[in-house]
């Protein structure tokens, strides 16, 4: 059995949450999102090494919260932060997970499911949940009232979550090939797709929602309370 490293990205701002502090340090039930996410990674029992990409200037706080983690300063974009984390992945790790601290309630079961799929031979794995809203296409950059270009059948759509799991060589190659793309790709699975590598989908879960707004934080409070 090989080793697995999880890169926990935590360098995002909390502005849309209405907080002056970085999003990963915003508290959910009196505990920072960062600690919730890290705790569940550890509880999965399949993570051998944890790397945290901390907001610039908050490295010492992150180290104090997670003394067992390898903390590195994140970059200006998510892609730069993951690349900084990849540089700290031990040579012994053949599987790498990339997870967002903004998804603090992803379950240990989901984490195990992603790692198991990678170890079963799928070199890039993402969790996804069915899309429930009706989705329509519009012209890029359109704002306000605009003409719809057509409704997209939602049966073939999934909303992608994290953690995303990768064969370490594939993720390294994706970042090396596209490190100068300007951050136009929004996640690591997208970078891997640019290599022509297929991405495998496993069932996600509603609890792995991303916290972006104050409403999301309030919903996460309710979900966490229901777990108690």
pLDDT at 184: 66
Residue 143 lies in a domain: no
Number of domain units in the chain: 1
Any idea which of 13-17, 83-87, 144-148 has the lowest mean pLDDT?
144-148
Domain that holds residue 216: 3-131+159-227
Compute φ and ψ for 137, nearest 5 degrees.
-90, 145
The span from the CA of 192 to the CA of 174, in Å, is: 5
pLDDT, position 97: 98
- For the record, the structure tokens of 175 come out as 């970042």
- 180's CB contacts (< 8 A; 6+ apart) are none
Residue 215 lies in a domain: yes
Is the predicted pLDDT of residue 59 greater than 80, yes or no?
yes
Residue 20 lies in a domain: yes
Tell me, yes or no, whether 145 lies in a domain: no
Pair 74, 10: CB distance under 8 Å: yes
Tell me the three-class secondary structure of 115-156, residue by residue. Answer: HHHHHCCCCEEEEEEECCCCEEECCCCCCCCCCCCEEECHHH
Please indicate, yes or no, if residue 151 is contained in any of the structural domains. no
pLDDT of residue 191: 93
Residue 142 lies in a domain: no
pLDDT at 14 over 90: no
Residue found by looking up tokens 């984490």 in the block: 111
3-class DSSP state for residue 107? coil
- Tokens 């309710």 belong to which residue? 222
Please state whether the predicted TM-score (pTM) of the whole model is above 0.85. yes
Q: What is the pLDDT of residue 219?
A: 94
* CATH number of the domain where residue 19 is located: 3.90.550.10
Closest CA to 47 of 101, 98, 102, 123: 98
Joined tokens for residue 204: 């996600």
Residue with the bigger pLDDT between 177 and 145: it is 177
Tally of residues, the chain = 228
């Amino acid at each position: 059995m090989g080793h697995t490293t999880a890169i926990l990205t935590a360098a995002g701002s909390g502005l849309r949450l209405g907080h002056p502090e970085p999003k990963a340090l915003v508290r959910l039930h009196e505990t920072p999102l960062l600690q919730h996410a890290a705790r569940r990674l550890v509880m999965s029992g399949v993570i051998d090494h944890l790397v945290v990409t901390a907001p610039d200037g908050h490295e010492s706080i992150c180290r104090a919260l997670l003394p067992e983690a390898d903390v590195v300063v994140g970059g200006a974009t998510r892609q730069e932060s993951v690349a900084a984390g990849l540089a700290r992945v031990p040579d012994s790790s053949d599987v790498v997970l990339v997870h967002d601290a903004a998804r603090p309630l992803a379950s240990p079961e989901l984490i195990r499911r992603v790692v198991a799929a990678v170890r079963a031979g799928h070199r890039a794995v993402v969790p996804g949940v069915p899309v429930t809203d009706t989705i329509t296409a519009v012209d890029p950059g359109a704002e306000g009232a605009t003409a719809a270009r057509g409704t997209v059948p939602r049966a073939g759509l999934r909303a992608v979550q994290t953690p995303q799991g990768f064969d370490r060589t594939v993720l390294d190659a994706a970042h090396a090939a596209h490190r100068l793309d300007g951050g136009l790709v929004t996640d690591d699975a997208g970078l891997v797709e640019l290599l022509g590598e297929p991405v495998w989908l496993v069932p996600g879960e509603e609890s792995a929602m991303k916290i972006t707004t104050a409403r999301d934080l309030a919903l996460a409070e309710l979900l966490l309370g229901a777990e108690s």
